[in-house]
Structure 1
Amino acid sequence: MSVLVLLLLGLGVGVTTALFGFGGGFVTVPVITVVDAGLGGDAVRVATATSALVMLVNALVATLAAPPRALRGRWALLVLLGVGGALGAVAGRFAPGPVLRWGFVAYVGVTVVDLLARPGFLRPARTVAGRRQALPTGLGLPIGAVASFLGVGGSVMTVPLLRRAGASMPVAAALANPLTLAIVAPALCVSLLVRGSTPAGAGLVGAVDIVAALSLLAGSTVVVVLLRRRPPRVPDALHAGAYVALLVAAGAVVAATG
């Protein structure tokens, strides 16, 4: 896959970061799995590690472009997300490739079924005043660990939780970016320093494909800034439906490259 194609795909990464709070994980993992398919079973391990770098930069840019206020005073939650992110990244460096690949696919599948079957996502549930956007502190550790292990950031867990607490899609996506940042910062450090069972290869630093990551970021960062500063007005139901559709597409690509 050429650098030009990665630059164009980076535009899509920017859109998902700004509109869905993904930080790029659910686009980066399928794309890098295809880019590094020559690594065989190690391709998905490199993809999950590389997604940490892409998500870190995009989540940071999105957070700085339009910082949310709802997370002030939630330091315990952010610390637990970071600890979980580091633990998940370490586990991911040594886990067999098929576990990461099919774990990603299974996680996406379960999430999609949950979003479709249970009320509160496609149609936000009404909540008691003052309890909007609640995210229990104790969930920080498992959210961080699973998110970094599979390379998906934290948005795929936090956005549904925030929606069910009554948040609109724009608010949930905005809050997901700093939460993702807390997870992927320590996860990226692990991915750069710990190669694990990933073989040495051109362009790899630790388990991170630097060239592919930088190509995606070159296309995404400007889009993130523009859309966070001037977010498009998308009907909430359509916004939520697009979130589900993107999860389905990401899972299908990773499954197909197996």
Structure 2
Amino acid sequence: MFDSILVLLAFGCLTGLTTVLFGFGGGFVTVPVVYGVVSASSGQDTDPMHVAVATSTAVMVVNASGATLAQLRTGRLRREYVWPLAVYVTVGAAVGSVGALALGDRVQHVLFTVYLVWTILDSLLRRGFLSHAEGAEPRRLGRGTVTAGGIGIGTVASALGVGGSVLTVPLLRRRGLPMADAAAMANPLALPVAFVATVVYAFAGGTGAGGHLGYVDLVAGAALLAGSLPTIALVRRIVGRMPDRVHAWFYVGLLVAALVGINVV
């Protein structure tokens, strides 16, 4: 158990880094690592993927809140890209988190993997993500993107515990925003997903057994936060210093690492 806590603490630090630099909120780091820890445990948890997703959303509530406040001070948050998109993301989050409870653990694992593969290929093969035209004026989000797109983002994000950053960052990136700005706005957009999903998962699967609140693993979540929160406070000082193209490549690289992590445990 002590070894697992150390692993979670170390990955919590990585979670803090990715929250600030990439808007992940922790999902693509916390889901694979919690899934691995739970799968390797004594076997009391019959749905390790549900526990991983639920714990990820709970950690994301805290991480995304802290990162949002930090990014607010930098002036990178732009209201026209966050509101009213966040409203429709919230609606989708309610649909996705309730629907996820009906999915089998194996199905949820497969969907998480497919989602990662699709996003990686889309980022590499479709123009507009890895390159950014300097000085170009960012384009506004269309009505359909805000409404149907927002509901879709919330549904997928809450069902897989990823906060939506892997949808919102490419979306905003292809609207002409620099990576630093797109990642910054992924955090406030992840908050409604994380909050709604955590409430749903907390009231599912029983309460209080073995350090759990519903499907949320409280011990794992606390260990992850112990590593992530100090890291967020430190990393926020270097936001915007990474070259834009390097920033985009690192984003794709982390998705590849998450894909490997979720499938080797």
TM-score, reference length from structure 1: 0.91
What is the aligned counterpart of 1:46 among 51, 73, 94?
Answer: 51
- Look up the match of 1:178: 188
Equivalent pairs, count? 255
Q: Partner amino acid for 2:159?
A: F
Cα distance in structure 2, aligned partners of 1:248 and 1:236? 19
Aligned in 2, Cα 1:160/1:74: closer, same or farther, shift over 3 Å? closer
What is the aligned counterpart of 1:79 among 84, 87, 92?
Answer: 87
1:59-105 Cα offsets, whole Å, 9 max, x none, are 00000122143125954321211121121111112210111101000
Q: Is the 8 A contact 2:169 2:186 kept in 1?
A: yes
Cα distance in structure 1, aligned partners of 2:259 and 2:238? 30
- Look up the match of 1:137: 146
- Look up the match of 1:19: 21
Q: Is the 8 A contact 2:32 2:258 kept in 1?
A: yes
Displacement after TM superposition at 1:226 (Å): 2.2
- Look up the match of 1:8: 10
Q: Partner amino acid for 1:254?
A: I
Q: Is the 8 A contact 1:105 1:252 kept in 2?
A: no
Q: Is the 8 A contact 1:10 1:217 kept in 2?
A: yes
Cα distance in structure 2, aligned partners of 1:41 and 1:134? 43
Q: Partner amino acid for 2:22?
A: F
- Look up the match of 2:248: 240
Q: Partner amino acid for 2:52?
A: A
Give SS of 1:217's match: helix
Q: Is the 8 A contact 1:83 1:186 kept in 2?
A: no
Of residues 13-22 and 126-135 in structure 1, the stretch that sits farther from structure 2 once superposed is: 126-135
TM-score, reference length from structure 2: 0.89
Structure 1: 5+ residue stretches without partners? none
Give SS of 1:166's match: coil
Displacement after TM superposition at 1:161 (Å): 0.7
- Look up the match of 1:214: 222
Q: Partner amino acid for 2:47?
A: D
Aligned in 2, Cα 1:79/1:220: closer, same or farther, shift over 3 Å? same
Q: Is the 8 A contact 1:102 1:255 kept in 2?
A: no
Q: Is the 8 A contact 1:134 1:162 kept in 2?
A: no
Cα distance in structure 1, aligned partners of 2:210 and 2:177? 44
Is 1:35–2:37 an aligned residue pair? yes
Aligned in 2, Cα 1:171/1:130: closer, same or farther, shift over 3 Å? closer
Give SS of 1:177's match: helix
Is 1:115–2:123 an aligned residue pair? yes
Displacement after TM superposition at 1:163 (Å): 0.8
Q: Is the 8 A contact 2:163 2:193 kept in 1?
A: yes
- Look up the match of 1:157: 167
- Look up the match of 2:70: 65
Cα distance in structure 2, aligned partners of 1:130 and 1:109? 27
1:16-72 Cα offsets, whole Å, 9 max, x none, are 001000000000000000110044761111101110011111000000122143125
Cα distance in structure 2, aligned partners of 1:69 and 1:85? 22
What is the aligned counterpart of 2:232 among 215, 219, 224?
Answer: 224
Aligned in 2, Cα 1:161/1:203: closer, same or farther, shift over 3 Å? same
What is the aligned counterpart of 2:202 among 149, 174, 192?
Answer: 192
Aligned in 2, Cα 1:202/1:160: closer, same or farther, shift over 3 Å? same
Of residues 70-79 and 242-251 in structure 1, the stretch that sits farther from structure 2 once superposed is: 70-79
- Look up the match of 1:249: 257
Q: Partner amino acid for 2:13?
A: L
Q: Partner amino acid for 1:137?
A: V
Cα distance in structure 1, aligned partners of 2:83 and 2:195? 15
Aligned in 2, Cα 1:24/1:134: closer, same or farther, shift over 3 Å? farther
Cα distance in structure 2, aligned partners of 1:220 and 1:18? 10
1:127-157 Cα offsets, whole Å, 9 max, x none, are 9635267793121111001001011111000
Structure 2: 5+ residue stretches without partners? none
